[in-house]
Structures are given as structure tokens and as C-alpha cells.
Amino acid sequence: MKRVPGFNGRALREHREHAGLSVEDLSRKIQVSVIDLTRYESGSRMPGVTRLALLARTFGVKPLDLLEPGAVGKGMRSLRVAAGLTHDEVVRDGAPALNPGRWVKIEHGLLRHLSDKDVEALARGLHATPSAVRAAHRWDTEHGPHASLPTSVPARPRPQPPLDAAR
């Protein structure tokens, strides 16, 4: 399971204490071990997206409320995490027209153009508006890990046969 970077254990502890729950009470309520909850609160371990969504639902907050500000950027990943979804859940539940590989390319800013059909499918899958999807996609292509890549890849030159083979 992939962990969510930037998890804020202090925020989890504050929400738990505000709800009047001990770690043991929360453990029983959501069926997560006391050890895991203690590690989340101390910052020595981060939950995955599914567990992050469970914790957020338990306290009636958004998953992003349990992360450090800006931890997941402002792109597609932030929309996915805000919805408490894994990559597979986005594709399976809301955007079946997209395959998992295409979704990963979109989330990493590798797919520079989204069709209106893609935007609508992603909006359904991410429980977001089409304008939020377009803004997130724009952020990914401008700020994501591959932002410096050219918008089109030049054709690869054909290899020339060795001079000896031409004779």
C-alpha cells in the first residue's frame, strides 16, 4: 500500500481528542490497530489513501485536512486524495473509460491534453467539477515532476547503416 506523504499526525490527534476519543476507542470504532494509530499520531508512519479517507470520514473532515498544507500539490493527486480514492478506485468507480496507465500519466502531468470526454470522466471519478479537473491538470503540467518536458516529443532520428554495410 502506498503511503500518503505529508500526513499530519498532530491534526489526527487533535481531531481524536476533540471527539473525546482515546486511541483505544478510535481503534475499536474504525478497526485499526492501536499501534498503527499511535504511529500515525507520532508521525513515524503515514496511512495509505484508503485509511486516510476512513480517518477523515470518522471525524467529518476532508482527507486534505489531515495533511500538511500543500503536501500533495494542487493537481490531480490532490483531487484524488481529497476524494479519498486510490488510483484503481478512480478508474474502476468513476472513470472506466480511462485505463490505469492513462490515469497515472494524467496524474503525473505526462498527458498534456485532456479531451472533454476525459475531463467529464475524471470529474465523475474524482467527485469534482470539470473546471476543478482542468485547473488540476493545468497545475500538473506546469508544476508536476515532468513540467519541464516538451509538449511534443521530436521524432527520433533513424539510425544510419554503418559505412562498411553500404558497400
- CATH class of the domain whose range is 9-66: mainly alpha
Topology at the third CATH level for domain 76-143: 434 Repressor (Amino-terminal Domain) (1.10.260)
- Selection from 99, 110, 101, 96 nearest residue 141 by Cα: 110
* Cβ contacts of 58 within 8 Å, gap of 6 or more: 26, 29, 30
Domain spans of the chain? 9-66, 76-143
Give the whole-angstrom CA distance, residue 144 versus residue 40.
Answer: 27
Work out the pLDDT band at 136, boundaries 50, 70, 90: very high
Per-residue DSSP letter, 44 = S
Q: Is the pTM of this model over 0.75?
A: no
The reply to whether 76-143 shares the fold of 9-66 is yes
Has residue 82 got a pLDDT over 70?
yes
